[in-house]
Amino acid sequence: MSREEDKIGSGWFEVEPFHVDVTGHLALGVLGNELLNCADAHAERRGFGMTWLHDNRCTWVLSRLVMEMERMPRQHERFCIRTWVENVYRLFTDRDYEMITAEGEVLGYARSVWAMIDMDTRKPKDLLALHGGQIAGYVCDKACPIERPGRIKVRAEEPVRTYRAQYGDIDVNGHVNSVKYVEHMLDLFPLEWFREKRIRRFEVAYHAESYYGDTLSFYREEAGDGAYGIEVRKEGGEVVCRSKVEFI
């Protein structure tokens, strides 16, 4: 195994019956959960996981997530998620993912961008200064051949839906779970679209937290070529997150 290969974390998954959508393929939200779990496990083994975070009153904050799939695995299919760190900057780190089958078929790739904040001050930490700069040694040169997250603009002025955040949306930190936004955004599209097309690329940028009881307004607009921009705003207009969904 090369030194670069050593830097890649991996985990095997089986697509369980309750993790598929109407088409019998893995639901995008479940894939998102698994990616975030893999990131946590990989960081944990390198000393930047939950345990260290908890002791140091820090937490990773997900800023961007892009998933781009050639195909989604089917019910009962096994696949592997591989994850590695592409870049570390002072305030952000890029973590990439590859999804492959046991036969080596690449199902797709994902990219994520993370910051680390102090839980008390909510201020960002200097990643390059942590553990004596050790994190930079984890950067891996494996390629992630999908486009980086871009700038998402949504100009729609009338929400297509409003939703009040419920018990089931809230994670252990008291925030709406980042993957729940993804699920609520997919629910803005008709069921037939998921049967007749598929999502090639899903991109989300997180801007602010929302909480139990917040009324979230969803704005959607066509962005051409089967793509849709979605913006989620809180009462008062603060943008919570923006997304771009590409159906093909």
Backbone angles phi, psi at 41, to 5 degrees: -65, -40
Number of residues engaging a copy of itself in binding (CB under 8 A): 35
Q: Which runs of E-coded beta strand occur in the chain?
A: 9-14, 58-69, 78-88, 93-101, 106-118, 161-164, 199-206, 215-224, 227-234, 239-247
The nearest distance, CB 176 to a copy of itself, in angstroms, is 11
CB atoms within 10 A of CB 211: 12
Nearer Cβ to a copy of itself, position 66 or 186? 186
77 lines the binding site for a copy of itself (CB under 8 A): no
- How, if at all, do strands 161-164 and 199-206 pair? unpaired
- Residue 10 in contact with a copy of itself, rule: CB under 8 A: no
By CB under 8 A, residue 221 contacts a copy of itself: no
Question: With binding defined as CB under 8 A, does residue 204 bind a copy of itself?
Answer: no
Told to check if 12 binds a copy of itself by CB under 8 A, we report no
Q: How many CB atoms lie within 10 A of CB 128?
A: 14
Q: Quick check: 179 binds a copy of itself (CB under 8 A)?
A: yes
Element (H, E) at 179: helix 178-186
How far is residue 29's CA from residue 45's CA, in Å, rounded to a whole number? Answer: 25
Residue 76 interacting with a copy of itself (CB under 8 A) = yes
Verify binding: residue 59, a copy of itself, rule CB under 8 A: no
Based on CB atoms, which residue is closest to a copy of itself, 142 or 234?
234
Residue of 174, 224, 236, 237 interacting with a copy of itself (CB under 8 A): 174
DSSP string spanning 129-149?
A: GGGGGGGGGGB------SPPP
How many residues would you count in the chain?
248
61 binds a copy of itself, rule: CB under 8 A = no
> Is residue 163 involved in binding a copy of itself (CB under 8 A)?
no
Do β-strands 227-234 and 239-247 pair in parallel, antiparallel, or remain unpaired? Answer: antiparallel
Q: Does 50 bind a copy of itself (CB under 8 A)?
A: yes
Name the residues that contact a copy of itself, by CB under 8 A: 16-18, 20-24, 27, 29, 33, 36-37, 40, 50, 75-76, 166-168, 170-172, 174, 177, 179, 183, 186-187, 189-191, 194, 212-213
